[in-house]
Amino acid sequence: MSLARSPLAPAAFPDLASIDGVGMVTTNTGLRYRGRPDLLLMRFCEGTTAAGVFTRSKTRSAAVDWCRQALAAGAGRARGLVVNSGNANAFTGARGQEGVRITIEAASRILGCRPEEIFHASTGTIGVPLDGPRIASCLEAMAPELSSEASWEQAATAISTTDTYPKGAGAETSIDGKTVRISGIAKGSGMIAPDMATMLSFVVTDAAIAPDVLEALLREGADRSFNSITVDSDTSTSDTLLVFATGKAGNAPVTDLEDPRLDGFRAALFSVLLDLAHQVVRDGEGATRFVTVTVTGATSNDAAKRIALAIANSPLVKTAIAGADANWGRVVMAVGKSGEEADRDRLRIAIGGVVISENGEAVEGYDETPVAEHMKGQEILIEADIGLGDGRATVWTCDLTHAYIDINADYRT
Amino acid sequence: MSLARSPLAPAAFPDLASIDGVGMVTTNTGLRYRGRPDLLLMRFCEGTTAAGVFTRSKTRSAAVDWCRQALAAGAGRARGLVVNSGNANAFTGARGQEGVRITIEAASRILGCRPEEIFHASTGTIGVPLDGPRIASCLEAMAPELSSEASWEQAATAISTTDTYPKGAGAETSIDGKTVRISGIAKGSGMIAPDMATMLSFVVTDAAIAPDVLEALLREGADRSFNSITVDSDTSTSDTLLVFATGKAGNAPVTDLEDPRLDGFRAALFSVLLDLAHQVVRDGEGATRFVTVTVTGATSNDAAKRIALAIANSPLVKTAIAGADANWGRVVMAVGKSGEEADRDRLRIAIGGVVISENGEAVEGYDETPVAEHMKGQEILIEADIGLGDGRATVWTCDLTHAYIDINADYRT
């Protein structure tokens, strides 16, 4: 089953900067896919720092387990990254762990570093143990090519599964007057049985940033980006977001999260993460509309986010959007079911910037015409003001269409 | 848009007993539907007790607000019930509350009782205030017909909206050697924009049961039935389950929840509630398969229920079932995302009674043939054992099909 490029996809893959201190190479392992790269090897120079955030699933994959251990054992230092697509190596027991061990051992030998400086992610079919020896022999063959660097688009392609387009984003800023570059790739969230929804993202910068500062920045940025998007509320066993900082830009290392020199970098990193996260939503299975849900006036930012996610995850809201139906009653319903504090009679709902209801009822003389027009577009804005406090949050999602069912139900038939 | 009878519907409406002490009449109000009853009036004899459980939504309808107040103010006594379909009177502000006030005032005058002895539920379009004077004049016209009783099937039809069949269930038991009858009706969970998912259910018995005992029984029974089903995880503004006990069976009133005379009645009431709840799932929009999800071995019953609901609400699991795909990896994923304690390497998954995976990986020599056969049927069984404790729960749901999207997205086009 081959999928047409999402109608919400960007026009083209962006022109991303090479990052000093990074080598990249891709290949085809022959494990599942033909005619495209499915294995990515990245090499980082000495002194590279790393930080990661991972799925909260209790049934996470062996590769996720490894990355969490490696970050702790290696004190946030990185020398390499291995990502394969086509096999998630999830729910594969001891044999899956053995596949990871062989992969890490091979990469650390090839790159001449400690095992805990190698990071690893897998995406694809679950329940099938990863063929470690096959990956190891591919890595051996790839190593000599690390100098003649692969393109970011090839790298983004190598980590993708059922994505309908490769995803990349970049930014440039400065620290200490030194130009700093950020380039990143992502995959998600196409799912074909028995594959699973997985979001992977890898971001590389030449800034010099201490591991604990990098981790704090990543955690905050992930909350505002990858943790603020939803396609179908399902959480993968393998979600992985890693950032690597080579330090080659030449700035004096940033060791304090409050350092004002970070301001530009923080904004640039967040913009890259948000761009990548949006691209994942725009490739949601069957998506035809990109939906922004903003909640204000909640009792806290966390409450606002839970309400926004209740709206964004509601199948009734998402099918209404697919049908271009300005069904504000379903937004009311979703606010009510979120479990967060809400007062029916203070709630204000707007779609496409037009206030539809306030004080517990439809506004006097509500004219649906402009809202119906907005619903026909590809970019939908839903706003709910709870009227109780200052909490606010924005999340992004897509509509729920027939194509979602096609992709996820009819795949084997 | 008229919907074909669900393929999962029972063969026919059951033959339900009349309940001594109850009068019923239905009519057509002309407010929305034509050629079918859309207003139900029930009269209860003096001494009737009542209990209710309601939606937990923070944006609940005016009728739900009224019932909660009435139960408290009237100390669990009931003399009448008014249910209309076609207009949910939800999110209608002060004008909606005025519609409720007029309805209650008319019914209490007609039935010669206090307002707080009248209960009321509405289902249908939201955002449009209920036309109280119209309901009141219909109630006036219906009152003389209360003696020539309407059938349970007529009553079930009067409270339905987009249901593809009327829903009823009954049971007979005894207390103190006196025959006790239970008859009940339900509606849900068809949704057509801008209507909302609503479950309404009304159960009547001739047993003599004190209000506090009735409420405790209902709460327990609702947890095992209506609160254990899910079609699409969305919660209505209007969900209402009420039980009324006329006391005409002649048993000495039961005033203690631990009274052993209750044993048969408890079982009979729970079976009626479960039957009605299952019928709601079997009429889920677009449902083609009825799915039972049983979770055992969780750290508590509550944890088991949350895990079971995570499986039952997962769009990926539900679309796989629609496609008759034995996709156990998605069950693993749903367990992992539930937020409850789970250990990947202790998890056991079975479908159709066939163990597919245990100890964190697929069983040796797993043969999908019998499971694939099971998935083609209309009754699907998914079992997950968490391997950590004694907590268990069962929930019921249906598959997620193209027809769900048709019903909920394409309605206006």
DSSP string, B53-82: EE---TT--HHHHHHHHHHHHTTTB-SEEE
Distance of alpha carbon B207 from alpha carbon B248, whole angstroms? 6
Q: Is B151 on the interface with A (CB under 8 A)?
A: no
pLDDT at A382: 96
Distance of alpha carbon B214 from alpha carbon B208, whole angstroms? 9
pLDDT at A413: 35
Are A40 and A83 within 8 A, CB to CB?
Answer: yes
- Asked if pLDDT for residue B402 goes beyond 50, the answer is yes
Residue range A17-35: mean pLDDT, rounded: 95
Least Cα separation, residue A121 to chain B (angstroms): 17
Are A314 and B234 within 8 A, CB to CB?
Answer: yes
Least confident of A186-195, B87-96, B228-237, B239-248: A186-195
What percent of chain B lies above the pLDDT cut of 70? 95
Q: Which residues of B touch A333 (CB under 8 A)?
A: 57, 59, 126, 196-197, 234-237
Residue located via tokens 């006196």? B178
Q: Which two tokens stand for residue B213?
A: 């005992």
Q: Which residues of B touch A361 (CB under 8 A)?
A: 91-96, 127, 129
Length of chain B: 413
Q: Which two tokens stand for residue B98?
A: 């005025």
Coil, strand, or helix at residue B222?
Answer: helix
Are A150 and A25 within 8 A, CB to CB?
Answer: yes
Among A110, A119, A169, A106, which residue's Cα sits nearest to residue A145? A110
Q: Which residues of A touch B122 (CB under 8 A)?
A: none
pLDDT at A60: 85
Distance of alpha carbon A330 from alpha carbon B265, whole angstroms? 38
Q: Is A405 on the interface with B (CB under 8 A)?
A: yes
Least confident of A287-291, B98-102, B249-253: A287-291
Is the ipTM value over 0.90, yes or no? no
Coil, strand, or helix at residue B7?
Answer: coil
- Which residue ranges of B are tagged as binding site for substrate? 161, 187, 198, 285, 408, 413
Are A80 and A108 within 8 A, CB to CB?
Answer: yes
Coil, strand, or helix at residue B314?
Answer: coil
User: Would the CA dihedral through B13, B15, B20, B26 be positive or negative?
Assistant: positive
User: Would the CA dihedral through B98, B99, B105, B106 be positive or negative?
Assistant: positive
For the question of residue B198 being annotated catalytic, the response is yes
Q: From the list B233, B316, B410, which residue is nearest A191 (CB)?
A: B316
For A389-411, the pLDDT digits (tens) are 999 999 999 988 887 777 777 54
Say which CATH class A22-282 falls into: alpha beta
Instruction: Please classify residue B256 by burial: count the beta carbons closer than 10 Å to its beta carbon, then call 0-12 exposed, 13-18 middle and 19+ buried.
Output: exposed
- Asked if pLDDT for residue B411 goes beyond 80, the answer is no
pLDDT at A410: 54
- Asked if pLDDT for residue A42 goes beyond 50, the answer is yes
The residue among B99 and B60 whose pLDDT is bigger is B99
pLDDT at B366: 86
pLDDT at A296: 97
Q: Please judge whether A59 and B234 are an interchain contact, meaning their C-beta atoms are less than 8 angstroms apart.
A: no
Q: Which residues of A touch B320 (CB under 8 A)?
A: 193, 408-409
Instruction: Please classify residue B365 by burial: count the beta carbons closer than 10 Å to its beta carbon, then call 0-12 exposed, 13-18 middle and 19+ buried.
Output: exposed
Least confident of A186-190, A390-394, B304-308: A186-190
Q: Which two tokens stand for residue B379?
A: 């009754």
Q: Catalytic: which of B198, B230, B235, B240? A: B198
A164 is in an annotated binding site: no
The phi and psi torsions of A3 (rounded to 5 degrees) equal -105, 140
Residue range A322-330: mean pLDDT, rounded: 87
pLDDT at B193: 33
Among A391, A222, A384, A389, which residue's Cα sits nearest to residue A293? A384
Core vs surface per residue B290-317: b (16+ CB within 10 A) or e: bbbbbbbbbbbeebbbbbbbbbbbbbbb
pLDDT at B196: 43
Q: Please judge whether B92 and A361 are an interchain contact, meaning their C-beta atoms are less than 8 angstroms apart.
A: yes
pLDDT at A189: 65
The phi and psi torsions of A13 (rounded to 5 degrees) equal -70, 135
Distance of alpha carbon A403 from alpha carbon A408, whole angstroms? 8
Q: What pLDDT band is residue B195 in, cutting at 50, 70 and 90?
A: very low
Are A129 and A88 within 8 A, CB to CB?
Answer: no
Among B168, B356, B387, which residue's Cα sits nearest to residue B272? B168
pLDDT at B365: 86
- Asked if pLDDT for residue A196 goes beyond 70, the answer is no
Residues 6+ apart with CB under 8 A from B239: B54, B55, B57, B64, B198, B199, B200, B226
Q: Please judge whether B316 and A95 are an interchain contact, meaning their C-beta atoms are less than 8 angstroms apart.
A: no
pLDDT at A233: 63
Task: List A residues 236-265 in contact with B (Cβ-Cβ < 8 A).
Answer: 236-237
Residue range B68-74: mean pLDDT, rounded: 95
- Asked if pLDDT for residue B176 goes beyond 80, the answer is yes
Distance of alpha carbon A180 from alpha carbon A261, whole angstroms? 12
Q: Please judge whether A234 and B333 are an interchain contact, meaning their C-beta atoms are less than 8 angstroms apart.
A: yes
pLDDT at B55: 85
Q: What pLDDT band is residue A105 in, cutting at 50, 70 and 90?
A: very high
Q: Which residues of A touch B365 (CB under 8 A)?
A: none
Among B315, B299, B309, which residue's Cα sits nearest to residue B387? B299
Q: Which residues of A touch B386 (CB under 8 A)?
A: none
Mean pLDDT of chain B: 90
Residue range A149-155: mean pLDDT, rounded: 93
A187 is in an annotated binding site: yes
Residues of A classed as catalytic: 198
Residue range A128-145: mean pLDDT, rounded: 95
Residue range B232-256: mean pLDDT, rounded: 89
Q: Is A137 on the interface with B (CB under 8 A)?
A: no
- Asked if pLDDT for residue B410 goes beyond 60, the answer is no
Are B195 and B412 within 8 A, CB to CB?
Answer: no
Distance of alpha carbon A88 from alpha carbon A127, whole angstroms? 8
Q: Is A120 on the interface with B (CB under 8 A)?
A: no
Residue range A377-394: mean pLDDT, rounded: 95
Q: Which two tokens stand for residue B237?
A: 């503004």
Say which DSSP state B209 is in.
B
Instruction: Please classify residue B344 by burial: count the beta carbons closer than 10 Å to its beta carbon, then call 0-12 exposed, 13-18 middle and 19+ buried.
Output: buried
pLDDT at B381: 95
- Asked if pLDDT for residue A364 goes beyond 60, the answer is yes
CB atoms within 10 A of CB A234: 23
Question: For residue B408, what are the β-bridge partners?
Answer: none
Nearest CA in chain B to A330: B196
Q: What pLDDT band is residue A106 in, cutting at 50, 70 and 90?
A: very high
- Asked if pLDDT for residue A21 goes beyond 90, the answer is yes
Distance of alpha carbon B354 from alpha carbon B339, whole angstroms? 26
Residue range B164-174: mean pLDDT, rounded: 96
For B325-370, the pLDDT digits (tens) are 888 888 988 898 888 888 888 999 999 999 999 988 888 888 889 9
Task: List B residues 188-227 in contact with A (Cβ-Cβ < 8 A).
Answer: 191, 193-194, 196-197
Q: Per residue, what are the HEC states of chain A? A: CCCCCCCCCCCCCCCCCCCCCEEEEEECCCCCCCCCCCEEEEEECCCCEEEEEECCCCCCCHHHHHHHHHHHHCCCECCEEEEEEEECCCCCHHHHHHHHHHHHHHHHHHHCCCHHHEEEEEEEECCCCCCHHHHHHHHHHHHHHHCCCCCHHHHHHHCCCCCCCCEEEEEEEEECCEEEEEEEEEECCCCCCCECCCCEEEEEECCCECHHHHHHHHHHHHHHCHHHECCCCCCCCCCEEEEEECCCCCCCCECCCCCHHHHHHHHHHHHHHHHHHHHHHHCCCCCCCEEEEEEEEECCHHHHHHHHHHHHHCHHHHHHHHCCCCCHHHHHHHHHHCCCCCCHHHCEEEECCEEEEECCEECCCCCCHHHHHHHCCCEEEEEEECCCCCEEEEEEEECCCHHHHHHHHCCCC
Are A208 and A48 within 8 A, CB to CB?
Answer: no
Task: List B residues 28-67 in contact with A (Cβ-Cβ < 8 A).
Answer: 55-60
Residue range B190-215: mean pLDDT, rounded: 79
Q: Is A316 on the interface with B (CB under 8 A)?
A: yes
pLDDT at B67: 97
pLDDT at A69: 96
- Asked if pLDDT for residue B192 goes beyond 50, the answer is no
Residue range A155-159: mean pLDDT, rounded: 97
What residue spans define the domains of chain A?
22-282, 290-409
- Asked if pLDDT for residue A85 goes beyond 90, the answer is yes
- Asked if pLDDT for residue A379 goes beyond 70, the answer is yes
For A55-79, the pLDDT digits (tens) are 888 888 899 999 999 999 999 999 9
Q: What pLDDT band is residue B190 in, cutting at 50, 70 and 90?
A: low
Nearest CA in chain B to A402: B402
Q: Is B10 on the interface with A (CB under 8 A)?
A: no
Beta strands A118-125 and B167-175 are: unpaired
B290-409: CATH superfamily: ArgJ beta chain, C-terminal domain (3.10.20.340)
pLDDT at A253: 97
Q: Which residues of B touch A320 (CB under 8 A)?
A: 193, 408-409
Q: What pLDDT band is residue B307 in, cutting at 50, 70 and 90?
A: very high
Which one of B1, B56, B91 would you mutate to disrupt binding with A, by most A Cβ within 10 Å of its Cβ? B91
For B6-50, the pLDDT digits (tens) are 899 999 999 999 999 999 999 999 998 999 999 999 999 999 999
Say which DSSP state B375 is in.
H
